């Protein structure tokens, strides 16, 4: 997940008694380099991670965060700063950019008292347990209320809130721990996906050495594929090493309500697998939902470019819900 390591780094720094200023883009309008949910932190040693949009705007906000740390301000009232990307805006709100949009940036000074909340955020990400992070002018906490992916409301001064769903990521199930499967996970881990990778070959070194998947599961593809839960944020990528193992995965996921199923292989292999599925009673309508061969038609056939083409297709479906099959 995009911010999986982010929250863990903040926790480590707080435990090490460093001051931390957390910055979050609470909302944006129009053309804006910082999008809702973008995050960054600055610690008292100058360490930083993430981005709220970059450029001169980010530099100005970092200076503000630095001044809060240096002046040892308690700042339990969280700051909400409006940044307007237009030279005609009031000087106080000018971001220095000219892209005509605007964004609201939250600055929150974290302390040891926030460790339980941070630990709950990390646990929610580890266990895929959906919770809502809610930040107001005076609070920073988690709850189980219903909310959209993001929610922001500003009335005036300190009458505002920001909400973000935690622990409910887009999940990609990658079947196959070989060259292509591993390359796909390497790219995915930089994006907003939770990656679960599967392999049925015992003691397969390449799979065991892969550090990019959030979870790795060894065992029969028949069993592991059957355990996948349905959902609109679920993607399945089939890149196993054999005809039979590809078939075993597909026969167990085809009837699940998930958003994307992709199969790697030659046209001949794909045609044979699809015929076997029809012979086993799967409808043509279901089989036609499988994207095969997997990936956008942009690669030169190399492992790296195949992986990029697959991830590009996942992003296309993720960011255009009407293209999914859920």
Q: Do 88 and 180 share a domain, yes or no?
A: no
- What CA–CA distance (Å, rounded) separates 263 from 249? 10
Q: Do 140 and 239 share a domain, yes or no?
A: no
* pLDDT in single tens digits along all 326 residues of the chain: 678 889 999 999 999 999 999 999 999 988 788 899 999 999 999 999 999 999 988 999 999 999 999 887 555 557 888 866 655 545 555 555 555 688 999 999 998 889 999 999 999 999 999 999 999 998 999 998 887 889 999 998 888 999 999 999 999 999 999 999 999 999 999 998 999 999 999 999 999 999 999 999 999 998 999 999 999 999 999 999 999 999 999 999 999 999 999 999 999 999 999 999 999 999 999 999 999 999 999 999 999 999 999 999 999 999 998 999 98
Q: Do 50 and 113 share a domain, yes or no?
A: yes
Q: What is the pLDDT of residue 220?
A: 94
Q: What is the pLDDT of residue 96?
A: 54
- What CA–CA distance (Å, rounded) separates 194 from 213? 8
Q: For the whole model, what pTM was predicted?
A: 0.85
Q: Do 187 and 309 share a domain, yes or no?
A: yes
- Which residue among 166, 188, 218 closes a domain? 166
The CATH number assigned to the domain holding 303 equals 3.40.50.720
Q: Do 270 and 316 share a domain, yes or no?
A: yes
Q: Do 144 and 13 share a domain, yes or no?
A: yes
Helix, coil or strand: residue 250: helix
Tokens of 91: 């000087």
Q: Do 208 and 296 share a domain, yes or no?
A: yes
- Which residue among 115, 141, 166 closes a domain? 166
Q: Do 213 and 311 share a domain, yes or no?
A: yes
Residue-wise pLDDT for 16-65, tens only, equals 999 999 999 999 988 788 899 999 999 999 999 999 999 988 999 999 99
Q: Do 187 and 130 share a domain, yes or no?
A: no
In 128-157, which positions are buried (b, 16+ CB within 10 angstroms) versus exposed (e)? Answer: beebbbbbbeeebebeeeebeeebbeeeee
Residue-wise pLDDT for 269-310, tens only, equals 999 999 999 999 999 999 999 999 999 999 999 999 999 999
- Taking alpha carbons only, the member of 56, 59, 111 closest to residue 87 is 56
Q: What is the pLDDT of residue 89?
A: 45
In angstroms, the Cα distances linking 172 to 21, 182, 184, 197, 311 are 32, 13, 10, 8, 10
Q: What is the pLDDT of residue 315?
A: 98
Number of domains in the chain: 2
Q: Do 155 and 217 share a domain, yes or no?
A: no
Q: Do 210 and 227 share a domain, yes or no?
A: yes
- Which residue among 166, 185, 218 closes a domain? 166
Q: Do 113 and 245 share a domain, yes or no?
A: no
Q: In terms of residue numbers, what domain contains 303?
A: 170-323
Tokens 């015929």 label which residue? 275
């Amino acid at each position: 997940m995009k911010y999986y390591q982010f929250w863990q780094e903040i926790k480590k720094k707080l435990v090490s008694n460093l001051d931390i200023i957390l910055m979050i883009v609470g909302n944006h309008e129009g053309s804006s380099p910082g999008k809702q949910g973008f995050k960054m932190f600055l610690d008292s040693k100058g360490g930083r991670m993430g981005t709220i949009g970059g450029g001169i705007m980010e530099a100005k906000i970092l200076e503000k965060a630095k001044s809060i740390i240096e002046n040892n301000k308690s700042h339990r009232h969280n700051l909400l700063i409006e940044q307007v990307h237009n030279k005609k805006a009031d000087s106080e709100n000018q971001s220095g950019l000219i892209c005509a949009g605007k964004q609201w940036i939250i600055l929150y000074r974290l302390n040891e008292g926030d460790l339980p909340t941070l630990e709950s955020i990390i646990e929610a990400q580890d266990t895929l347990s959906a919770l809502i992070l809610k930040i107001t002018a005076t609070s920073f906490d988690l709850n189980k209320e219903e909310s959209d992916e993001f929610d922001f409301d500003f009335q005036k001064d300190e009458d505002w809130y920001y909400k973000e769903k935690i622990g409910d990521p887009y999940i990609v199930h990658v079947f196959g721990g070989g060259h292509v499967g591993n390359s796909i996970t390497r790219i995915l881990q930089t994006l907003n996906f939770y990656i679960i990778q599967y392999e049925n070959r015992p003691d397969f070194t390449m799979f065991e050495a892969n550090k990019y998947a959030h979870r790795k599961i060894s065992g029969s593809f028949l069993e592991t594929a059957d355990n996948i839960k349905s959902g609109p944020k679920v993607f399945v990528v089939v890149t196993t090493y054999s005809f039979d193992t590809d078939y075993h995965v597909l026969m167990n996921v085809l009837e699940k309500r998930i958003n994307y199923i992709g199969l790697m292989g030659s046209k001949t292999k794909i045609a044979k697998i699809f015929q076997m599925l029809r012979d086993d009673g799967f409808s043509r309508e279901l089989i036609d939902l499988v994207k095969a061969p997997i990936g956008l038609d942009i690669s030169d056939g190399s492992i790296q470019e195949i992986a990029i083409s697959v991830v590009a297709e996942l992003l296309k479906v993720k960011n255009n819900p009407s293209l999914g099959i859920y």
